[in-house]
Amino acid sequence: MTMNDKELGGKVIDFRRYLHRIPETGNNLPKTRAFLETHLEALDCEIRDFGPEGFTAWFECAEDKAAPCIAFRTDMDALPITEDTGLEFASEHQGCMHACGHDGHMGILLGLASWIDGNMGKLAKNVLLVFQASEETTGGARDLIAEGIFEEHRPERIYGLHLWPGYPLGVIASKPGGIMAGTCLARITAKGRSAHIANFKEGRDALYAASLFLNRAYEWGQGIQGKAPHLLRFGAFHSGTANNVVAGLALLEGTVRSYADETSDMVKDGMKRIAGEIEQETEVSFDFYFESGYPPVVNDPEAYAEAKARLISEGFSWFEMTEAALYAEDFAFYQQEIPGVYFHLGTGIDAELHTTDYMIDEDALLTGVRLFRSLIF
């Protein structure tokens, strides 16, 4: 059924509000998936399962069977947060909330699906819609890729977006190259020797050594920002057992975020060098454990230039970012398989992501649908 934009915008808002009421986390999304599939099953598309709770909707739009395919992706999972917005359609699942805009992302993709269904045969390309679980947890994109999500239809481009506070309503923000950071867990253990505080010289103070490390690592990290933009911060520091005992052990846990693997490696090597110097000074040893998370979200330069030119010609409000965001996104895994572009879409409300009172201006949702449909050319 063909709808005008006003009708389509209202439909997308309805989708989003229903999904906002039923947030689910990780890959346990039975209500979310049932709602999405109910609407997709009424359209001229083929639904196929991939990974835990992930699935695709394939639209063979073009008259030419050999026409190229492009893909669009949405995440589906919510966060373990108790909502405090006062909205009439607030979460009905205690302790769970769509506090990162994924309800809006799904609404946009359902709206796009409805629009495609009303324009079958008029489009030059076929379309693959990707519905993915576990973006907030284990990186559900990897599961879908491992199961061969792109092997049959082989899309030439993949696009995604994130509803973004801080930008005016409807503004599209993006940039070529790195747009969001890759992540790496850093766990650092300082091992000394306990002693009574009265005999502190007999001990090897792990708390003191770890404190030296923390300060020097931060200072060094600030010094290389100009040539290697990154984030090095620690959020947990555990040490000691009593107020009158020299701490024999200290544990620091934090994150390294950057836009290139080379930068991440540089930061890791720098931390190890600093620890080595402190070992010589204090006789406290340091052990390092690093665990890579999501890679950086890197927009393909050619695909980015195409999308930017197209969207500006269509009259969208465009903002070229000069700095990438330090948030992470597993859309990065798709970009390692297919040239892809990721966008931030301004929501007009400066409500922080992942907070109990996160809200959006729902007029942004139709802009999201219009953005995506403009890229089917």
Tell me which of 136, 143, 300, 362 is the catalytic residue.
Answer: 136
CB 247 within 8 A of CB 195: no
CB 258 within 8 A of CB 272: no
| Residue 90 Cα distances to 22, 100, 195, 312, angstroms | 9, 14, 55, 35
* Phi-psi region at 256: left, alpha or beta (left = phi > 0; alpha = psi -120 to 50): beta
CB 90 within 8 A of CB 359: no
75 tagged catalytic: yes
d(CA 43, CA 333): 29
d(CA 274, CA 220): 9
**Residue 193: DSSP 8-state:** B
d(CA 9, CA 39): 16
Tell me which of 75, 103, 117, 205 is the catalytic residue.
Answer: 75
CB count in 10 Å sphere of residue 295: 23
Task: Tell me phi and psi for residue 130, to 5 degrees.
Answer: -110, 120
* CB-facing half-sphere around the CA of 97: CA atoms within 13 A: 19
The contacts of residue 335 (CB under 8 Å, 6+ apart) are 158, 297, 298, 299, 300, 342
CB 219 within 8 A of CB 277: no
Coil, helix or strand at residue 23:
coil
205 tagged catalytic: no
Name the residue type at position 317.
S
Hey, which residues are catalytic here? 75, 136
